Amino acid sequence: MRDRSSRAALLAGAAFVFAATPAHADESVQPERDYLPTDIVVTGDRGTGYDNEDGSTATKTPTPLIDVPQGVSFITEDQLEDQSIRQLNEALRYVPGISMETGEGHRDEVFIRGQETTADFYIDGLRDDAQYYRSLYNIERVEVLKGANALIFGRGAGGGAINRVSKRADLAGQAISGEASVDSFGAFALLGDVNQPLSDSLALRVNGTYEEFDSHRDFYEGRFIGISPTLTTQLGPQTTLIATYSYDDDKRVTDRGVPSDGGTGPLRGFDDTFFGDRDFNEAEAQVHIGRVRVEHDFGSGLTANATVQYADYDKVYANILPTGVDTVENTVFLGGYRDYTDRENWIGQGNLVWQTGSDTIESTLLLGFEASRQDTLNGRDTVSFTRAPDPNGLDPNETPLADTIFVPPFALNIGARARDSQLETLSFYIQEQLQIGDHIELVGGLRWDRFDLETVNLNTGIRGDRVDEKVSPRLGLIVKPNADLSIYASYAESFLPQAGDQFLLLSPTSAQFEPEKFTNYELGLKWAPLDKVLVTAAIFRLDRSRTPFTDSLGNTTLTGESRVEGFEIGAVGEITDFWKANVGYTYLDGELRTASRFGPAGQRLQQTPKHQIAAWNRFDVTEALGFGLGVIHQSDQFASFSNTVELPSYWRVDAAAYYTVSERLSVQLNIENLFDETYYPSAHGNNNIQPAEPFSARIGVRFEI
C-alpha cells in the first residue's frame, strides 16, 4: 500500500522550512521597489481590463512583465468574460504560437512553438499534468510562457508552459457575482463567485459552476461540475496563509472527429457525423486538487513562500474511432479501446527571495527547491469486432459511410495493457537578477533535477527504472533605454526523459538513454507606449535534440534533431478609454533536421502552421453599450509527421455585444464563427480530425452584488 500519510508529512515538512524561522537584517538596505506587492505570486483584480504587469510566474520573484527576458502571452479574467470562454482549450485558441491537438477527444493537448505536450500545465506555478479538460471557473488569468522553461518549471516545458492563476479570497470586502448563459445548440452554463470576509484576518471565497455541453456533432453531450473554496488568513502582520481546494467532475461523449479522405485532407460532407458508439464513447474525470501556501515577509527585502499540493486524478474514457476510409467502396474502418488512469501527485515547493541593493546596483536572489512524488496506474482494454464474415466482403471492423454510422458488434479484451509507475523528483534552483544602473539587467540561474522513475508492465512483469540528474541553465540580458522599453537576449534549456511526458512506461530501450534536450535562443523587446498597453516582439530558435532514431538494422541512437525558428509580435491592453485589445501574430518554421522516431529528415513538424493571427477587441460605444470583434487565422498545417494529410488554412470571425442594464446587471451576446466558415482546427493523427463548430450564438446574463 502507498504510504500517503508519511509522504504528505515529508513534503509538508520540507516545504515549510523556508517560512519557519524569522530573519534579522538591516532594513536600510532594502531597495525601493513599488511596482508589485510583496507577494511572490500576485493575483489580478476584477475589472482591471486586459492589461497585466505581473511577470512573477516567469521568475518566481516580484518582477514586472516588461523585465522578463522571455515571450509571455496572457488572457485576463475580463477578456475571458467578454469572450464568454469557459474552458482552457477555448481560451488558448486566442494565443498565437499555440495550435490545438484534438487530444483523443478527452483531454487538453497543445503544440507550443511546435512542441506537443499533454503535461506542461500548471496552476499557481505547480504542476497539473494529468490528461483531462481544465475549466476556468476559478481562474483569474491564463499565462503562456514560451520557450524552454526548466529553471522555473522543471522537466518538460520544452516549447513552453501554460499556467493558470487561481482566484483568492480577499479580506477587503464582500463580493457576490453570478452568470447564466445558453447557446444556440442548447448548451448552458451557471457560475457563481462569492467572497466573504469572516473577520479582520480571515476571508472565504467560493467559486462554483455547472455546465452542460452540446454542439453540431451528432450525439455529442456532456456536463461539468466544479466547486472551489479558498481561504485567506492573515496569521500576522507579515504572514499570509492561502488554502485552496477544487473538485472538478467532467463527463462527456468522447468524439474523435472525422477520418481523412484517403490520405490528403479531411473527409468532407460528414462534419456532423459521429464515428463512434453513442453508448460506449464516454469520458469521465474526477479531479481533486488541494493546496496550502504560506507567504512571509521578514522585512529588509527578504520574503519566502512555501506550498504543498495534493492532487488526485481518476480518469476513464472509452471510444470507437475512425481509422481510415475506402473511398472506392465508400466505407470506413473502425477501431476502439477503453483506457483508465488513476494518478496521485504530491508536490512540495519553497522559495526564498532576497532583494538588496543601492542606487547603482540592485539584486534579486532566488533560492528554491521542489520535491514531488507521482504514482500512476494505467490500463487499457482493446476492442475486437466480432461480426461474422460479411457476404459483401466487408472486414469485421468495416462499415458503410453514412450520416449515421452503423457500428458492428464488438467485444472488449480486458486487461490488454496494464502498467504502474512511480516517479520521484528533487530539485534545487538558484537565480540572480542583477540591475546595474538604470539601463542594464542580467538574469542568470541554474536548476538541478534528480529524476527517479520506476515502471512495471503488470502483464509481463518487465520492470524499467532510470535515474537522471540534470542541470538546466538560464541566461538573460536586458537593456532598458528607458523605463518603458526593454530589449532582451536570452538562452534557456529544458529536458524531457525518454518515457514521455506522462511517464507511464519505460521500455528496455528507452531506459538506456538520457533525456531529450530543448534549447531556446531568443531576442525580443517589450515596450509600454501607454500606461495600460504592452507591445512585445521576439525572434527565436528552438532546437530539440537527443530524439531516438532506429535504423534499418534495429539499432537505436539519440541522433534525432528538429528545429523551429520563428517571429512573434503582439499588443495587449487599453488602447483608449473605449478600446481594449489583445492582438498577436506568430510565424513558425519547423522541420525535422535529421531522421528520428517522428519521421525522415526534412518533414515539417505536425500541426505547426507557419502563420497564426489572433485578435480580440472590445469597443465601448457608451457607458452602457459595447461591442466585441475577434479574428483567428491559421495557415495550412499537416495533421501528422507523415506530411500527407493537410488541415486547410482558415479564418474565423467572432463577435459580441454588451449592454449594462444597471450597476448590478448586464447582458451579453457572443457569436462564434460569424460567417459560418467550414474549417478543421485540430487533429489527432491522420484519421481523427476535428470539424469546427458552425455559426453559434450564446446569450448570457451577469449580476454583481
Residue ranges covered by each domain of the chain: 4-704
* SS3 (DSSP) at 564: strand
Q: Which of 142-151, 603-612, 619-628 has the lowest mean pLDDT?
A: 142-151
Task: Inform me whether the pLDDT recorded for 402 exceeds 50.
Answer: yes
* Predicted local confidence at residue 48, as pLDDT: 64
Task: Inform me whether the pLDDT recorded for 590 exceeds 50.
Answer: yes
Q: Which residues pair with 580 in a beta bridge?
A: 574, 618
Report domain 4-704's class: mainly beta
Q: What is the pLDDT of residues 48-107, one digit of tens each?
A: 699 999 999 999 999 999 999 999 999 999 999 999 999 999 999 999 999 999 999 899
Task: Inform me whether the pLDDT recorded for 152 exceeds 80.
Answer: yes
Nine-digit cell string for 590: 519547423
Task: Inform me whether the pLDDT recorded for 5 exceeds 50.
Answer: no
* Predicted local confidence at residue 195, as pLDDT: 97
Longest dimension (CA), the chain: 91
Task: Inform me whether the pLDDT recorded for 377 exceeds 70.
Answer: yes
Count Cβ atoms within 10 A of the Cβ of residue 389 and give its class: 0-12 exposed, 13-18 middle, 19 or more buried.
Answer: exposed
Count Cβ atoms within 10 A of the Cβ of residue 396 and give its class: 0-12 exposed, 13-18 middle, 19 or more buried.
Answer: middle
Q: Mean of the pLDDT values across residues 675-685?
A: 96
Residue 553's pLDDT band, with cuts at 50, 70 and 90, is confident
CA–CA distance, 407 with 218 (Å, rounded to integer): 15
DSSP 8-state assignment for residue 512? G
Q: What is the pLDDT of residues 292-335, one digit of tens each?
A: 999 999 999 999 999 999 999 999 999 999 999 999 999 999 99
Q: What is the pLDDT of residues 249-290, one digit of tens each?
A: 999 999 999 999 988 999 999 999 999 999 999 999 999 999
CA–CA distance, 543 with 590 (Å, rounded to integer): 10
- Pairing type for strands 121-123 and 126-127 reads antiparallel
* Predicted local confidence at residue 639, as pLDDT: 95
* Predicted local confidence at residue 474, as pLDDT: 96
Residue 505's pLDDT band, with cuts at 50, 70 and 90, is confident
Q: Mean of the pLDDT values across residues 387-415?
A: 92
Half-sphere exposure of 476 (CA within 13 A, CB side): 34
* Predicted local confidence at residue 40, as pLDDT: 37
Task: Inform me whether the pLDDT recorded for 15 exceeds 70.
Answer: no
* Predicted local confidence at residue 554, as pLDDT: 83
361-373 CB burial, b ≥16 within 10 A, e <16: ebbbbbebbbbbb
E strands, 437-532, are: 440-457, 463-482, 485-496, 516-530
pTM: 0.92
Residue type for 542, please? L
Q: What is the pLDDT of residues 321-332, one digit of tens each?
A: 999 999 999 999
* Predicted local confidence at residue 22, as pLDDT: 38
User: Nearest CA to 507 among 404, 419, 611, 437?
Assistant: 419
Contact 326, 334 (CB under 8 A): no
Task: Inform me whether the pLDDT recorded for 1 exceeds 80.
Answer: no
Q: What is the pLDDT of residues 215-248, one digit of tens each?
A: 999 999 999 999 999 999 999 999 999 999 999 9
Q: Which of 126-135, 167-176, 217-226, 551-560 has the lowest mean pLDDT?
A: 551-560
Q: What is the pLDDT of residues 460-492, one digit of tens each?
A: 999 999 999 999 999 999 999 999 999 999 999
* Predicted local confidence at residue 156, as pLDDT: 85
* SS3 (DSSP) at 182: strand
* Predicted local confidence at residue 506, as pLDDT: 86
Q: What is the pLDDT of residues 203-220, one digit of tens each?
A: 999 999 999 999 999 999
| Average pLDDT score, the chain | 91
* Predicted local confidence at residue 500, as pLDDT: 86
Q: Which of 143-147, 193-197, 261-265, 565-569 has the lowest mean pLDDT?
A: 261-265
Q: What is the pLDDT of residues 668-678, one digit of tens each?
A: 999 999 999 99
